[in-house]
Amino acid sequence: MVISHQHRFIFIKTAKTAGTSIEAFLSPHCGPDDVFTTTRPPVDGHEPRNWKVPFFPLKEFFSFNYPVDKSVFVERRFFTPMRTFDDMRKQRKFHEHIPARIAKMRIDPEIWNSYHKFSVERNPWDKTLSHYHMQKAYRDGNLTLDEYFDEGVFCQNTGFYCDQNGDCMVDEMIKYENLAEGIGGICDRYGIPFEGSLGVRAKGNYRKDRTHYSKVLEKRHLDIIDRVFRKEIEMHGYEFEDRSNTTD
């Protein structure tokens, strides 16, 4: 995540949405007192800073709002103090994918309420395929698409930018499909030079096959995605694009 006191914005990082590339692009344009969390693996140009700070999150010890991985069937949450205690022990006040609902409790209310908060979301069909290829690479190629769907662990991002009631906590949601336009708007707003591209691909290119998702995902896969990502689809107005009968 990023907290820029110089520009007065907060970036809530989601998964499989070029978040690390965005941080690497913003890093040299922000001040020494701004917060940039670490990334894995490290990325050239990205300077983590001010994320490791001693803190005592009293409010969090009475909260159950720390979201964790979700399955097809049930949302599971850690008892928040377990995760909070680990963060406090490591002096990790902020970390790469800290949920907005937790970040809010660790940020001065005046800063949280007055800074512009933004995040990025991606259509669930393309995001799911991208996540599958990443998981497949992690297992040295030993994961079929059907096995991935049977395991039922998907890349759901609403837990990063929504509160425990499912309401969006950021002021602006940029769609990954319109990333250049969205980041360009942020840069225009704060006077950050932007030439139409982030200029960096921060993570490994796990997905070698760029075949459109509608030509890869089968009806069974689509039914699961529709169920698992129903909230994201409705919240952001995503629609399935069928290119199965095209030659591109």
Q: Are 97 and 160 in contact (CB under 8 A)?
A: yes
Tokens of 137: 């690479």
Query: What is the C-alpha to C-alpha distance for residues 4 and 107, in angstroms, rounded to an integer?
Result: 12
For the chain, what is the total number of helices (H) and then of strands (E)?
A: 10, 7
Strands 116-121 and 172-175: parallel
Tokens of 159: 């837990």
Of 229, 54, 248, the closest CA to residue 240 belongs to 229
Which amino acid, residue 124? P
Cβ neighbours of 179 (radius 10 Å): 18
Q: What is the pLDDT of residue 164?
A: 80
Query: What is the C-alpha to C-alpha distance for residues 99 and 87, in angstroms, rounded to an integer?
Result: 13
Q: What is the pLDDT of residue 75?
A: 42
Q: 67: left (phi > 0), else alpha (psi -120 to 50), else beta?
A: beta
Between CA 95 and CA 104, with CA 98 as vertex, the angle to 5 degrees is 115
Q: What is the pLDDT of residue 35?
A: 98
Q: What is the pLDDT of residue 202?
A: 56
Q: What is the pLDDT of residue 38?
A: 94
Q: What is the pLDDT along the chain (248 residues), one digit of tens a residue?
A: 999 999 999 999 999 999 999 999 999 999 999 999 998 878 888 999 999 999 988 777 766 555 544 433 334 444 456 778 889 999 999 999 999 988 999 999 999 999 999 999 999 999 999 999 999 999 999 999 999 999 999 999 998 999 888 899 999 999 999 999 999 999 999 999 999 989 766 566 777 788 999 999 999 999 999 999 999 999 999 999 999 888 76
The reported pTM is 0.89
Q: Exposed, middle or buried by CB within 10 Å (0-12, 13-18, 19+), for 233?
A: middle
Which amino acid, residue 118? F
DSSP string covering 126-160: HHHHHHHHHHHHHTTT---HHHHHHHT-----HHH
Spatial CB neighbours of 46, under 8 Å, sequence gap ≥ 6: 20, 23, 24, 27, 36, 39, 202
Q: What are phi and psi of 124, to 5 degrees?
A: -70, -25
Collapsing DSSP states into helix, strand and coil, what is residue 23? helix
Q: What is the pLDDT of residue 244?
A: 83
